[in-house]
Amino acid sequence: MSSYNLTAVILAAGLGTRMKSKLPKVLHKITGVPMINHVLQALEQAQIQRKILVLGHGAKEVEEQVGVSVEVVYQREQLGTGHAVLQTRPLLEKCTGPVLVVCGDTPLLRGETLAELIEKHEKGKQAVTVLTAQVENPYGYGRIVRQGGKIVAIREEKDATMEEKKITEINTGTYCFSGPFLVEALDKLTSANAQGEYYLTDLIELAVKAGLNVESFILEDSRESLGINNRLQLAQAEKIMQKRILEKLMLDGVTIIDPDNTYVEAKVSIGQDTILYPGTYLQGDTIIGSDCLIGPNTRIVSSKIGNNNTIQNTVILESQINDNCQIGPFAYLRPGTVIEEGVKIGDFVEIKKSTIGKGSKVPHLTYVGDAFVGKKVNIGCGTITCNYDGEKKHVTIIKDGAFIGSNSNLVAPVTIEENAFIAAGSTITEDVPENSLGIARGKQKNIINWVKKKKD
């Protein structure tokens, strides 16, 4: 492929009116990644060196999202797809190789498909090769008009006759043009149609009429062609892409008990022999090791999870868990948490921005915030690190081997030294030295026969 000098033009200036959204259409996410990034990734896979992005509505937001890997051209007024490509003409003038044109709103197209399209185009020396698809419901798409089997035109829904509307072969909005043909032909487009727009699709008829060679390439899997114009299509695309991700994971050795109830975003990676139970939702840049049991009903966002961990009914955000840990059920790990090896975090435990050292246990009903917990620490049921004084957050340090009795309050800033022991029910406001007992509660008094006397 790389022997051709490949350029791609990506059309993404439209408002996306039918999305009914403040957000530019191409920034709507599918499997956690903006649509435009899916398109750019496919171009990357097809080894396209030069990418020219046409932006208009929400240009600034889209530019921020795509970064510096693309050249940007502005289309100030959205006068149609032909007009959009026309804006890139100064940049195409020296293009001798093929120019791929894709829409920013067809995120399911695969890199392999684009590579095949380019190859077919180059072999046949066409003026243009159109990527088409056979679909059940062609409504809204441009129809492929053929004569004697040869493609002769593309007719938009709004301009189609009753007969043409019955055609089920559609234009995917993806084309491979000969650069010199495109540069020359763009000038000839007019807006004499039902929408008063400059249609890029008119170049097909133009080429045919000029006696040039025009071909089509029919998609094997028509689902790749799904164009996202509204939120129904957004949900359909999500489903299709989700299926792709889960199938790949399964083939790579991950067990997914119920793929219809498991969600894994595009950037997530999972090691072999990990099992995902239903209701698992893995998002962002999450990395999960091998031999883990995840779920049921667990959400993990942008976190790094090691090997051989069991995580049930838990929410984990921007945290790190090393190997051999047991988390949940019903734990909540908030950003900045680091759980070292062999730790147990049990039910109804919330941990925020804290480190829990190797082999420590926080088995139930506990809040740990802004704390450094050492190795082999046991934190009893109902312990609270009182980290907030109403104005500022303070740090709690619990060193190796310490034992925190149940229902203790550790009022930060405070340090519990190595192997110290906190009596249950204590409110600790001062540091506790190593190997010492910290006890801070009212002394018990028994009033003998108090109940009996009261009754008398």
Does residue 85 bind ligand UD1 (CB under 6 A)? Answer: no
3-state class of 101 per DSSP? Answer: strand
Interface pick for Ca ion out of 97, 180, 227, 413 (rule CB under 5 A)? 227
Separation between Cα atoms, residue 20 and residue 357, nearest integer Å: 49
Does residue 203 bind ligand UD1 (CB under 6 A)? Answer: no
- Residue 117 phi/psi, 5-degree rounding, is -60, -45
**Binding map of Ca ion across residues 50-89, x = CB under 5 A, - = no contact:** ----------------------------------------
Separation between Cα atoms, residue 75 and residue 240, nearest integer Å: 31
Stretch that binds Ca ion, among 220-228, 242-250, 376-384, 398-406 (CB under 5 A): 220-228
Token representation of residue 412: 């930060």
Stretch that binds ligand UD1, among 127-135, 144-152, 199-207, 417-425 (CB under 6 A): 199-207
Selection from Ca ion, ligand UD1, none that 201 binds (CB < 5 to 8 A by kind) is ligand UD1
CA dist 64 → 30, 32, 50, 104, 267 (Å): 18, 17, 18, 15, 19
Separation between Cα atoms, residue 431 and residue 128, nearest integer Å: 77
Does residue 73 bind ligand UD1 (CB under 6 A)? Answer: no
Does residue 227 bind ligand UD1 (CB under 6 A)? Answer: yes
Helix (H), strand (E) at residue 351: strand 344-352
Stretch that binds ligand UD1, among 60-68, 73-81, 255-263, 413-421 (CB under 6 A): 73-81
Q: Are 296 and 329 in contact (CB under 8 A)?
A: no
Q: Are 78 and 41 in contact (CB under 8 A)?
A: no
Interface pick for ligand UD1 out of 40, 70, 133, 170 (rule CB under 6 A)? 170
Q: Of 87 and 415, which has the nearer Cβ to ligand UD1?
A: 87
The least CB distance from residue 397 to Ca ion, in Å, is: 57
The least CB distance from residue 349 to Ca ion, in Å, is: 48
R_g (Cα) of the chain, nearest Å: 31
Interface pick for ligand UD1 out of 39, 42, 156, 384 (rule CB under 6 A)? 156
364: annotated active-site residue: yes
Separation between Cα atoms, residue 415 and residue 448, nearest integer Å: 39
Does residue 80 bind ligand UD1 (CB under 6 A)? Answer: yes
Q: Which of 204, 39, 186 is nearest to 129 (CA)?
A: 204
Selection from Ca ion, ligand UD1, none that 361 binds (CB < 5 to 8 A by kind) is none
Residues ≥6 apart with Cβ < 8 Å to 439: 422, 423, 426
Residues ≥6 apart with Cβ < 8 Å to 165: 138, 143, 157
If one counts every other C-beta atom within 10 angstroms of the C-beta of residue 267, the result is 17
Stretch that binds ligand UD1, among 165-173, 261-269, 280-288, 330-338 (CB under 6 A): 165-173
The least CB distance from residue 406 to ligand UD1, in Å, is: 60
Q: Are 366 and 373 in contact (CB under 8 A)?
A: no
In the complex, which residues of this chain contact Ca ion (CB under 5 A)?
A: 105, 227, 229
Q: Which parts of this chain interact with ligand UD1 (CB under 6 A)? A: 11-14, 54, 75, 78-81, 83-84, 103-106, 141-142, 154, 156, 170-173, 199-201, 227, 229
What are the residue numbers of the active site?
364
